[in-house]
A and B are shown apart, each in its own frame.
Chain A
Amino acid sequence: QKEVEQNSGPLSVPEGAIASLNCTYSDRGSQSFFWYRQYSGKSPELIMFIYSNGDKEDGRFTAQLNKASQYVSLLIRDSQPSDSATYLCAVNAGGANSKLTFGKGITLSVRP
């Protein structure tokens, strides 16, 4: 069974700090990886996706992928209280039409 595991939370960081969110996956054939943010009572919104090993930066967000170790992480620099949400890691093991497998999510709290 394909699994996506995320650190048990919640994670609390002070405002301005770097938040590091980690995710591991079991299917070595996974091809694409996604990070979604979900505010309480709302639906998920896409933050970033990554396919290749290494880092991908978008503003304050950096996704890191290491296929050999089967993990993907999300770094949030200069964390803001508005970043407080649940972050979901998702993995696509197949082609573009395959379903995504989601982790359980980790709740991030940024303290002012």
Chain B
Amino acid sequence: GAVVSQHPSWVICKSGTSVKIECRSLDFQATTMFWYRQFPKQSLMLMATSNEGSKATYEQGVEKDKFLINHASLTLSTLTVTSAHPEDSSFYICSARVAGWNTGELFFGEGSRLTVL
């Protein structure tokens, strides 16, 4: 399958700081990437859909000014959590579709575990 790499895999930061998470498709081009958040023992929650070269589409209730998404190339999308607070501590996972595939499956990165102190 297609490989999606996410970095960092875990990060600890102080309240009020910003954290950037990178998501790369290693062996394919991804015109669309999806960012999810998962709290302990809960399911995946879609935060936003990231389209290469255009603004991300955010799900209802997700603050676009707090969770900045940039999809500058066909292989890289970034999520920046601005002014992080302890309630932002979660497991953030990106996923991508292979451009040109019509099968629709998503390939997930390894996830980034954020802890805000």
Contacts and interface: CB of A to CB of B under 8 A. Distances in A.
A17 interface: no
A38 to B, nearest CB: 9
Most chain A CB inside 10 Å of its own CB: which residue of B44, B104, B106, B107: B104
B32 interface: yes
Interface residues of A, number: 23
A97 B32 contact: yes
Nearest to B110: A43
Contacts, number: 55
Contact of A43 (B1, B32, B109): B109
B43 A34 contact: no
The majority secondary structure among interface residues of chain B is loop
Contacts of B97: 96-97
Contact of A45 (B31, B42, B46, B108): B108
B106 A96 contact: no
Interface of A: 31-32, 34, 36, 42-46, 49, 88, 90, 92, 95-100, 102-105
Given A100-B34, A104-B42, 14 more contacts: A32-B103, A34-B105, A34-B106, A42-B110, A43-B110, A45-B108, A46-B105, A46-B107, A49-B103, A95-B104, A96-B97, A96-B101, A96-B104, A105-B43
